[in-house]
Each structure stands twice: as C-alpha cells, then as structure tokens.
Amino acid sequence: MISISKEKSKLQLDVIYSFLTNSYWAKGRTMEEVENTIKNSLCFGIYDGELQIGFARVASDYTVFAYLMDVFILPEYRGNGYSKKLLHEIIHAPELATCKTWLLKTRDAHGLYKHFEFTELAHPERLMERLL
C-alpha cells in the first residue's frame, strides 16, 4: 500500500542520503547536510508499506513562496505514477495553500512538473542566482 507522510520521524535517512548523494544535483552532500536540509524544510516521504520509496522537500515562508527540492522516486518504483501522487500531495498541502510563487530546478523532469502548472520562467531577467 502506497502512502505519503509529512512525519519526519518516518523518514529513512539512509534511503534519502544514498539516493541524493548519487544524484546529479546533490553529489557530495554529507549526512550532516542532508539531516540539516530535512530539519529546515517541509518534507514528504512516500512509502510502499514501511519502505520509503521516494522523497521531496519544500523550503518556504508558508505564506508567499515555496521552493521544491530533492524530489525523487527510487528507480525500481518509477513508472507507476508515484511521482505524480507525491507532487499532488505537495502542491495541495494546507501549509502551502497561500504560496503564490513556486520555484524548482530540474535538468530532466520538465514533463512531470508541467502536469502541476510549472512553466519556463516568464521573466528570467528578474531572477538572479549566486552559486558557490
């Protein structure tokens, strides 16, 4: 049975750490950094019974802005619509209901996010970034 939870106590750090540190976007993160990102974010775990099969987190002020990060479904569970279920829960989370601006970065999942009304930047000239 597939379930989604925001309970941080249910998160399986070994699963999250193993996936993230092998991903293109989080390679090199330490366990301490992964723990810190979880501590300071609204987190969503997706589970097959007791086994965590995916994860996502949102950094937000819970009023205006939300930034979606670290979204994944384990490879062996992909193709079953679980990422859509996870994103539906995130987009409809009561804590984020008033957020009008959402952002994310992706290299290869544009099609997935378009199902949830994410688009290319309307005004990229208004955004700046600082990369270290």
Domain chopping of the chain, boundaries = 2-118
Residue 126's SS3 state is helix
Q: How far apart (Å, rounded) are the C-alpha atoms in residues 66 and 109?
A: 18
**pTM beyond cutoff 0.75:** yes
Say which CATH architecture domain 2-118 belongs to: 3-Layer(aba) Sandwich (3.40)
The CA distances from residue 109 to 6, 35, 98, in Å, are 23, 25, 25
Q: Taking residues 79-97, report their average pLDDT.
A: 97
Tell me the pLDDT tens digit for each residue of 2-16: 999 999 999 999 999
